[in-house]
Chains A and B, each alone.
Chain A
Amino acid sequence: MGFQVGSTLLDACVLAVLSRGDTYGYVLTQTMRDVTDISESTLYPVLRRLQRDGYLTTYDQPYQGRNRRYYAITEDGKKKFEGYKRDWILYKTQVDKLLCGGDDDE
């Protein structure tokens, strides 16, 4: 993809994935990678930061004799995500107008 994914958009994408259900680091990374070309080393700091800001929590679940750390979105995180989504739709519409303008103007 030729466009940069800034840190805000990355936060929003992580919250979006988690709003559909709890998951763990590896799956989260693979899901993100389907959409963006993000390198894994940048995802851990993002998760840690979102956790410190109270937008997500973690819990451990045993899996094949070891622990797996699951990430879950919090109420604050859901609110934040809704805000991001509104901003994104607004932004997307404006960029659409510029990039594809004329074609579907009313």
Chain B
Amino acid sequence: MNRSEFFTKLEQGLSKVSKEERDAALNYYHEYFDDAGPENEQRVIEELGSPVQIAARIKADIAVKQLDEDTKPSMKKGISAVWLVILAILAAPIALPLAIGAAALGIGLLAALIGVIIALVAGVAAFFIGGVVVIAAGIAVMATSVPTAIFSIGVGLLALGGSILIGILVVLAARGIFGSMAKIMNKQLNKKSKGDDINE
């Protein structure tokens, strides 16, 4: 690999990142090469390691940082941050089986969480629809039996109110969970990638 190949790969890796972040990173590494001097080009490339890995780390850092800055991070951003951290783990130069294990654990947790959330949302939706149906039934029997109608409408409203309340709680909890998951994993990754060279 030579310098221009290094930068082609780095730029490709950062194509989804904002222009400002990408330019900052590219400038930094261009300067680094310039300061090291052309005679040290090969040594610098070896020292820097894989540009794909550098890009993955930068992307994961930015995603986690954005979660911190957002006062109300959306679930989608949380999930994508977790995903970017998983990709960074896969790109990290840790012993391969360990990386695959860590990434698999992350993917498994992510899938399990998404599954639980889908189940909860489906449950809440069922309650909500049930509420609407019971209210409709109550209105339908209004003419024949007023007490039954009132009872039925009451139960329906209870189901509606309960489902809305639980729904809000589920969304709030999901946001928090994905955000903290991305942060914790990114922190671990920081430790790992800094430690592994030193531990040899």
Q: In the complex, what residue of chain A is closest to B194 when comparing beta carbons? A: A42
Q: B31–A42 contact, CB under 8 A?
A: no
A29 CB within 8 Å of chain B? yes
Contact B47 A25 (CB under 8 A): no
Residue of A nearest to B93 (CB): A39
In the complex, are the beta carbons of A39 and B61 less than 8 A apart?
Answer: no
Given known A39-B197, A42-B193, A48-B24, contact A69–B48 (CB-CB < 8 A): no
Contact partners of B21 in chain A: CB under 8 A: 48
- Determine the distance from Cα of A29 to Cα of B190 in the docked complex, in whole angstroms: 17
Q: A45-B57, A49-B61 are in contact. Are A26 and B36 (CB under 8 A)?
A: yes
Give B34-53 as 1s and 0s: 1 = Cβ < 8 Å from A's Cβ atoms.
11100000001001110001
A40 located at the interface, meaning its Cβ lies under 8 Å from any Cβ of chain B in the complex: yes
Please determine whether B58 and A4 come into contact, CB atoms closer than 8 angstroms.
no
User: Nearest-CB distance from B178 to chain A (Å)?
Assistant: 21
Residue A44 lies at the interface, judged by CB distance under 8 Å to chain B: yes
B191 touches A25 (CB 8 A): no
Residue from A26, A37, A69 with most neighbouring chain B CB atoms (10 Å):
A26
Whether A5 and B49, one on each chain, are in contact in the complex, defined by CB atoms closer than 8 angstroms, is no
The one of A1, A38, A49, A69 in contact with B194, judged by C-beta atoms closer than 8 angstroms, is A38
Q: Tell me, in angstroms, the Cα distance from A6 to B189 when the chains sit together.
A: 11
- Alpha-carbon distance A64/B65, docked complex (angstroms): 35
Docked CA distance A13–B198 (Å): 16
A49:B47 contact, CB within 8 angstroms: no
Q: A42-B194, A48-B25 are in contact. List 11 more A-B contacts (CB 8 A).
A: A1-B198, A5-B198, A6-B195, A29-B32, A38-B194, A39-B48, A41-B49, A41-B54, A44-B54, A47-B28, A68-B35
| Nearest 3 pairs of A and B residues by beta carbon | A26-B35, A4-B195, A7-B190
